[in-house]
Structure 1
């Protein structure tokens, strides 16, 4: 005889059926939701729908604001230079997505300007940062093969400024991805092997470095701290403290990697194409950060980029163009051209050749790389040599526009 009444037995049967139905309904629900008592069935369904649509997690927060705060805490640098450093570090995590990647040059006029401190701060946020104070040529490409470190070279002035042409060449080679390779013979059989030099580099120096290095760098000008300027000392465990920030940087870059590859940026024309190449990765990151960052990056680009004086042959080309524009003439003899250019008291041509004035011979020498040669022309009964405007139009358009 059953100990259950008929009503109790029916209730037990209904409970069993509900349990079976619930089991079927809960199949496929992840454990993190299945055991979360705070969520209703409707809440769980909403989460599942969001996950199914690819929205399981909110996009990572931008790390740039925290990076600015870290640099300001320890370094005496202008706001524009801080912005440039932050954008360079962020871009370095996605270096492989760019055709060209610049060095970051930390240049101080004298000692005690915070060079090593700034390098430590940059290194604490960099991807696989490695700080060294000297190195051989071989270690550069061996390290790049081992891992794509962010190589931070302190005391660069002590061994690069007047030094090893091979090391300079290797560092220069890492500027353009397609050319960031060197060949060396290895092993007992001296088999030729190709090594990569493609990795982010930070160069810290007292005084400027070789022109070729500076031309490939974003330059940060360090300054000695004034008595009233307060900074915090760098803690011994800064690298460990910064681990969450590096993870945040990495997560943000990875989340925006596809957009970084696909987008194109307009590089402001300031008359320096190499500088435009250097800043393109930073401009790309600024565009993804949005808000005030694109404008801040452009201001930093214009302020920190040095537009150097043109070389002598370019100045000559420019002044010949101005001569034709002002005179309205379509041709000029070499002698007349030299007289016109050396007659300008403010111009460089009175003392351009070791203190001596411009000559027809020097004009011909400077114009030869442009494919322009003097030609014989008739002027009355004379046949002097000179130049027609039409000869120079191609060079004007290519090098002065």
Structure 2
């Protein structure tokens, strides 16, 4: 009996040794801590693609480098159905990221500012579809803080009580990393434009491990400390790195992806190649959405686009009545009585083009004396606003009706 127990003990020890060696081999990336982070996340999180794991890894690493990067893309963690592991992702970021804090409910924008008064932190917001809403004044202010805080230097005035019973105003910094998880949360467009999105899928087949924190807590914290140590060793190089951006990566897209590219370059190995692939996929998605008409464009930008698309080839001057007939023919649901704003009139067209793009109707000197628009008046607005390789940057949507 004793011999049997001893034999079983030796077998168990051998299995334990083999398991330890396998784990060590799996995470043997002494030259690249980000590989260890990616492998760790892949054990517990099922993403829609490998690229989502790369995004999550780079984003976690960037939380330690905010002062060197100067800006921080928001991380949006989404899933098509509940139970896909969004809270699990936040739990891992909480252990692996820099100075993370989980904010189940944000009752006041001032609360965010006060938590950031000492140094940038990582704010984790779960169930964003419930906790973040534009339906209240507080919600609108919270979104304003989230949007402003993606770049270093933004502040918010906060009233602070004095010992004598009075109040004083202090400027508190807003710069922080923010991760939001939810089931298709309804975020304002300007917030979405500042986000990098990862998609999770439910693990019906049991391909990932359960995050048993009683067992893995210490290992997760140790890995987070290792990321912090790595970030400290590269922070000066990160601050000086100004990479050449891929063609087409401009505007808001550049602000979102440049920090990830800088982190990837600092990590070495395959990380720069992986990040460039993610950027190429991002630009391709934008182009595909544009071609499919899935862009969420403000109405006055849609007007500019429809004019460009309908403009006759070889036509230098287009009379107003003909121009209106052209865009109503190609997009009747937008510019005719079918739309809630009604039929677009010459006066309404002129007001919008003048106010938004400084494009004014003119009367030709000879021939047809009807007022209209010269093609060259639109070319600058078309080139700067409708470039198909990056998302459009318009902060305030303008309403276009038929009479104003």
1:73 maps to which of 39, 43, 57:
43
Gaps of 5+ in 1: 1-59
**In 1, Cα distance between equivalents of 2:213 and 2:115:** 25
User: 1:208 touches 1:214 (CA, 8 Å); kept in 2?
Assistant: no
The CA deviation at 1:135 is 2.6
For residues 272 and 349 of structure 1, the distance between their equivalents in structure 2, rounded to whole angstroms, comes to 31
Please state whether the residue corresponding to 2:213 is helix, strand or coil: coil
Instruction: Report what 2:303 is aligned to.
Output: 316
Name the residue aligned to 2:350. Answer: 364
Partner Cα distance (2:160, 2:198) in 1: 38
Moved segments of 4+, more than 4 Å: 269-272, 345-352, 355-358
Residues 318 and 275 of structure 1: CA distance in aligned 2, closer, same or farther (over 3 Å): same
**CA distance in structure 2 between the aligned counterparts of 1:373 and 1:185, rounded to whole angstroms:** 47
Aligned length: 339
Matched ranges for 1:249-398 at <5 A = 249-270=227-248, 273-304=251-282, 307=286, 308-322=295-309, 326-344=312-330, 349=335, 353-354=339-340, 358-368=344-354, 369-377=356-364, 380=367, 383-398=369-384
1:335 to 1:277, Cα distance in 2 relative to 1, 3 A: same
Residue of structure 1 in register with 2:27 after alignment: none
Cα 1:378–1:323 change in 2 (3 A) is farther
Structure 1 residues 194 and 251, CA, compared in 2 at 3 Å: closer, same or farther? same
Which residue number corresponds to residue 114 of structure 2?
142
User: Equivalent of 2:198, from 220, 224, 229?
Assistant: 220
The whole-number CA distance in structure 2 between the counterparts of 1:169 and 1:344 is 37
1:355-382 CA-to-partner distances (Å, cap 9, x unmatched) read: 85554234223312101121234664x6
From 204, 210, 228, give the equivalent of 2:187.
210
TM-score, normalised with respect to structure 1: 0.76
Which residue of 1 is the match for residue 88 of structure 2?
Answer: 117
> What secondary structure is seen at the aligned counterpart in 2 of 1:279?
helix
Counterparts of 2:66 and 2:350, CA distance in 1: 44
Instruction: Spell out, residue by residue over 1:183-226, the C-alpha distance to the aligned partner (whole angstroms, 9 max, x if none).
Output: 12322332221011112111111222322322221111222222
* 2:169 aligns with one of 172, 192, 196: 192
**RMSD (Å), alpha carbons:** 2.7
- Show the counterpart of 1:154: 126
Q: Where does the alignment leave 5 or more consecutive residues of structure 2 unmatched?
A: 1-29, 287-294, 388-404
Higher Rg: 1
Deviations 1:147-193 (A, max 9, x none): 432121222222213442222222222111122x1012322332221
